[in-house]
Chains A and B, each alone.
Chain A
């Protein structure tokens, strides 16, 4: 059998293994256009890229490192770039003078000076060693006055932008962005919203769905239910993120799946026609789901509330984008009998099936 080939094959073992490829960079703003600091690269990573051990004896000497100073400088210039206000900064590295150790591994310390022509947001792009180790990460810290910002640069995210604004707004835009991203990739939230929108363009008369005639009425109705949803999930998102309430995530996720099923089924077998309060109740659960994501991102020690507000705002912005894209289409379709009889129920069934799948997966 093929898998019998899985016998262990002898390979030479390095005297020291190499579990975590991590680089460290710290920068401190000395004035609005200058940053100073250092980059530390693990010698093992550099050896793999640049072959510093020129006599190939497995022992790296200080002389062998110094001899490749120019190559290391060139490698640095190719793999690290800094821009401020959208304009590329000049990167200077002084001569190699020091080594350091992290977790018993030797590191080369590269002093850095960054000069930027204009002020603005600081963007750091780093792409060293990812081709040889997809798990390589750069731990970056930037000190700017009283604030210190930490970021992780990885193969998946090779560029970070640090806002130039003051401490209160530090990272605010990052959290707004994350909020937008989360609602746009959070299918359970989108489909719940879609369930509400599918029937927002219809009204219930004589036990049948009829198209709402007045656009104003549609917009008002949509505003009502979306506001109920938004208000509710804002409450629980904030309360959960700040640690005031704490429900088991599993039950929250199960509950969210159940809300999707309920909303979809309610479009077909109308149990509740006026669903403002129900939407509010369900929104409370969705808010706890959003808070789970915020928990993963982590909240800054200072400015927790700002981060929560930013994330919440991002979620609302993302939600508005979805509504702005979908509602006009649904308004165009609402008068067609095919929409009321087939498209809306079929869409709802599909969503209910997806919701059921999530529910089973989460149970």
Chain B
């Protein structure tokens, strides 16, 4: 009886997996006509209007609502909320916003959205508006410094951090400066200083904690101290942003722990087709390392095909990585790495370009040796 139950369970599991597999198939299924008017063609779980329409009465309500969307959008599987926030802000006019604080918030949110879309110049313009109205706006300064650093503009980044001195607490201003110095000078110099600073000041019990943890992990990683870097980042995954989680996953992959990555990201219980590109990529990388069946790699292949068809250059780094480490194609890897470096110039982006150039060079040399045709 026991054996029967086990067999039945196995069959049930197989059947369930098959149903899931078929449901997750991409859009190459044939068009169909629902058999009945009552046929449910999509179940969103709750009315789309609940999440997609703003229940705002005033401009201040709209701004608060948009700010919540932006915060929530940073979590895994929630990036569609950026579009909701954008629409809400687009419908606001400056004439509707009378208070200075509200105007500051509007520009800050616009900057946040522009940064997410990798429109860094636009984001900086919006932040200038914030800082013109509120020169001591700490978050705007930090964001401006971060974007400058992303764009490879070290001096402006440092200037923004310096302007925090005397405005913010010492921990915030110093951490900002040390992050810049980790790029302009070296991570080897900035890392121990940041560690000492955090030890002296104690961990803050607010949004700065993950910010500092990510910064320390990044500096350790750039020195090749992967074990140490991973120790700065803590789980559970459900509470972290996509950025935090992907940094953690990247380190686990470097430490040759792909199964931990697969377990952690799976535990988010997000439908694979709704998983953020970077997390999907890391699942595919983990699966590739494990040498298991290519379920996630196929999903990533489809996502890459869609991104390429859409010409979504904002995801160039992921595309380049895919063509380097999952489905090797040196030319495509180089194309996307070059596209990426035009917008993002952090150490990771430079390393990606270096790897892609090396891969292309190796390919060309091997083709030269074999007398192949490069074009």
Assess whether A345 is interfacial by the CB under 8 Å rule.
no
- Interface residues on chain B, number (Cβ under 8 Å): 84
**A3 near B48 (CB under 8 angstroms)?**
no
Residue of A nearest to B39 (CB): A62
Q: Which of B8-16, B65-73, B252-260 contacts A (4 or more CB under 8 A)?
A: B65-73
B23:A104 contact, CB within 8 angstroms: yes
User: Assuming A9-B71, A17-B78, A243-B374, is B83 touching A152 (CB within 8 A)?
Assistant: no
Tell me if B49 counts as interface (CB < 8 A to partner A). Answer: yes
Known: A109-B31, A134-B86. A14 touches B48 (CB 8 A): yes
Least Cβ–Cβ distance between B277 and chain A, in angstroms:
8
Would you call A246 and B360 a contact (CB within 8 A)?
yes
Q: How far is the CB of B73 from chain A (nearest CB, A)?
A: 10
Q: Are B68 and A14 in contact (CB under 8 A)?
A: no
Q: Is the CB of A361 within 8 A of B44?
A: no
Contact between A131 and B46, CB atoms less than 8 A apart? no
Given the interface pairs A11-B69, A295-B335, the reply to whether A2 lies near B137 with Cβ below 8 Å is yes
CB distance from A97 to the nearest CB of B (A): 6
A94 lies within 8 A of chain B by Cβ: no
Q: Is B95's beta carbon under 8 Å from chain A?
A: no
Say which size band chain A's interface belongs to: 35 or more
* CB-based contact A104/B271 at 8 Å: yes
Chain A residues near B (Cβ < 8 Å): 1-9, 11-22, 43-44, 47-48, 51, 53, 56-63, 65-66, 97-107, 109, 131-135, 137, 139, 150, 152, 242-244, 246, 248-250, 292, 295-296, 361
A-B contact pairs, 27 of them (CB 8 A): A1-B172, A2-B137, A3-B139, A3-B207, A5-B67, A8-B75, A11-B68, A11-B81, A12-B50, A12-B51, A19-B79, A19-B273, A20-B306, A20-B310, A44-B44, A47-B44, A58-B46, A59-B42, A60-B43, A62-B41, A104-B273, A133-B87, A135-B83, A242-B375, A249-B341, A249-B353, A296-B335
Give the A-binding residues of B (Cβ under 8 A): 23-27, 29-34, 36-52, 67-69, 71-72, 75, 77-81, 83, 86-87, 90, 117, 137-139, 142, 152-153, 168-169, 172, 206-208, 239, 270-274, 276-277, 302-303, 306, 309-313, 331, 335, 338-339, 341, 353, 357, 360-361, 364, 374-375
Listed from nearest, the 6 A-B pairs whose CB atoms lie closest are: A15-B45, A102-B27, A63-B37, A17-B274, A62-B34, A3-B139
